[in-house]
Amino acid sequence: MTKLSVNINKIATLRNSRGGDTPNLVKFAKDVQQFGAQGITIHPRPDERHIRYQDAYDLKPIVYTEFNIEGNPIPKFVDMVLKIKPTQVTLVPDAIDAITSNAGWDTIKHKEFLTEIIKEFKQNNIRTSVFLNSDLKQVEGAKATGTDRIELYTEDFAHQYSLGNEEAIIPYTKCAELANSIGIGVNAGHDLSLDNIKFFKDNIPELLEVSIGHALICESLYLGIENVVNMYLHKLK
C-alpha cells in the first residue's frame, strides 16, 4: 500500500490568520494519525507564513508515524533538520517569494550542492528525497546525488487529468520505472486529490508515499477530516 502523509501547512495558515493557537497544530497532527494517516508532512518557509520553525520542534515528540520535513536547504533549514532528525527530509528548490512549490531540482546543474547536503543528512540517519519534475534525465541526475528517493512534482499531471487528458500520466510512469530500476524510491505530491489519486497510484509502479495537503484539507471542509483520510487510504490500497 502507498503511504499517505498529510501535509498540515494549511492548518498552520488558518491558525496564523487569527494570531492565536486555534486550530492547534499538534492536536491536529495527533488526530490525523489516529484516523489512519501514515505520516505528517510540514514545509516551513523562511517567512514562516504557515508552519513556523518552532512547530517542527513541537511536532517531533508526537509524530509516531513518519515525519517528513520539506524545504529549500538553506542553512537555517539544514540546522533545524539535523537537530530534529525526522524520518525523511524532502529537498525542494522553492524561491523565498514562491506561493507554493512550482518546480523540481535541476539535479545535473546542482549535483555537487545536492550531493553534499544529502551526504550530511544520510550520515545522520535521515532518509532523503529530492523534488523532481517528470524528466528522465533529472531522475538519472538524482541517482548521482546519492538520494534515497525522489518526489515527483505532480501539478502538471493533476491539471491535465482534470481536463480529461489521461496520457499526462505517461512521463510520470516512465520516471517511476526508471527510478525503480536504478534503486531509488518514488514519492509524489502536489495537487493530488480524491479525484485523481487512484488513477495516479494505479499507474505509478512501486509508489511508496504521497504527500497531500491543500486538496485534503479543502475536501475535509465538506466531508470531515476523519472521513477524508480514510477515503484516501481506501484509494491507495
Residues involved in catalysis: 43, 70, 190
Looking at the chain, which runs of residues are DSSP E strands? 3-7, 39-42, 66-71, 88-91, 127-132, 149-153, 185-189, 207-212
Which of 77, 75, 59, 84 has its CA nearest to residue 5? 59
For residue 211, the tally of other CB atoms under 10 A from its CB is 26
Angle at 235 between CA 151 and CA 179, to 5 degrees: 25
Which of 115, 118, 90, 123 has its CA nearest to residue 104? 90
What is the C-alpha to C-alpha distance for residues 90 and 76, in angstroms, rounded to an integer? 15
Joined together, the cell numbers standing for residue 154 give 505532480
